[in-house]
Structure 1
Amino acid sequence: MNKPLFIRIVDRLSAEISYFQQRRDATGRFGHSALQKATTTICMMAYGCPADAVDEYLRLGETTALLCLEHFVQGIINLFGDAYLRRPTPEDLQRLLDIGDIRGFPGMIGSIDCMHWKWKNCQTAWTGQYTRGSGKPTIVLEVVASQDLWICHAFFGPPGTLNDINVLDRSPVFDGILQGRAPKVNYIVNGHEYHLAYYLTDGIYPKWATFVQSSPLPQGPKASLFATHQEVVRKDVERAFGVLQARFAIVKNSALL
Structure 2
Amino acid sequence: MGEAHGFPGMIGSLDCTHWEWKNCPVGWQGQFTRGDHGKPTDMLEAVATQDLWIWHSPLFTDVLQGRAPPIDYSVNGRQYDMGYYLVDGIYPEWTVFVKSIPSPQSDRHKLFARKQESAREDVERAFGALQSRFAILRYAARYWHRSTLSDIMYACIILHNIIVEDERDSYARAGNYDLNYDQERYHPIPEAEYQRGPIDGFSNLLLRNKKIQDRSKHAQLKNDLIQHIWDKFGGRQVNN
* TM-score range normalised by the length of the shorter chain: 0.5 to 0.7
User: 2:4 matched to 1:102?
Assistant: yes
Q: Which has the higher contact order (CA 8 A, sep 6+)?
A: 2
Map of 1:197 onto structure 2? 83
1:217 to 85, 97, 103: 103
Q: Residues 124, 242 of structure 1: CA spacing in aligned structure 2 closer, same or farther, 3 A cutoff? A: same
1:233 to 102, 119, 134: 119
C-alpha offsets along residues 162-193 of structure 1, whole Å, 9 cap, x if unaligned? xxxxxxxxxx4211111112231111212221
SS at match of 1:253: coil
Map of 1:142 onto structure 2? 45
Aligned length: 142
Paired residue type of 2:81: H
Residue 102 of structure 1, CA deviation:
2.8
Q: Sequence identity, in percent?
A: 60
C-alpha offsets along residues 33-91 of structure 1, whole Å, 9 cap, x if unaligned? xxxxxxxxxxxxxxxxxxxxxxxxxxxxxxxxxxxxxxxxxxxxxxxxxxxxxxxxxxx
Mapped contact 1:114–1:143 kept (Cα < 8 A): yes
Residue 147 of structure 1, CA deviation:
0.5
2:132 to 238, 241, 246: 246
SS at match of 2:31: helix
Q: TM (normalized to structure 1)?
A: 0.52
SS at match of 1:231: helix
Paired residue type of 1:232: S
Of Structure 1 and Structure 2, the greater helix share is in 1
Map of 1:123 onto structure 2? 25
In the alignment, the residues of structure 2 paired with residue 217 and residue 126 of structure 1 have an alpha-carbon distance, to the nearest angstrom, of 37
In the alignment, the residues of structure 2 paired with residue 231 and residue 111 of structure 1 have an alpha-carbon distance, to the nearest angstrom, of 10
Mapped contact 1:250–1:256 kept (Cα < 8 A): no
Q: Aligned-residue CA RMSD in angstroms?
A: 1.5
Paired residue type of 1:100: G
User: 2:28 matched to 1:132?
Assistant: no
In the alignment, the residues of structure 2 paired with residue 214 and residue 129 of structure 1 have an alpha-carbon distance, to the nearest angstrom, of 29
Paired residue type of 1:141: L
Map of 1:164 onto structure 2? none
Residue 103 of structure 1, CA deviation:
2.6
In the alignment, the residues of structure 1 paired with residue 78 and residue 103 of structure 2 have an alpha-carbon distance, to the nearest angstrom, of 24
Paired residue type of 2:27: A
Structure 1 gap segments, 5+ residues each: 1-98, 155-171
Mapped contact 1:147–1:236 kept (Cα < 8 A): yes
Structure 2 gap segments, 5+ residues each: 144-240
Residue 218 of structure 1, CA deviation:
2.0
In the alignment, the residues of structure 2 paired with residue 132 and residue 226 of structure 1 have an alpha-carbon distance, to the nearest angstrom, of 30
Q: TM (normalized to structure 2)?
A: 0.56
SS at match of 1:110: strand
Map of 1:188 onto structure 2? 74
Structure label with greater radius of gyration: 1
Residue 228 of structure 1, CA deviation:
1.0
In the alignment, the residues of structure 2 paired with residue 132 and residue 216 of structure 1 have an alpha-carbon distance, to the nearest angstrom, of 23
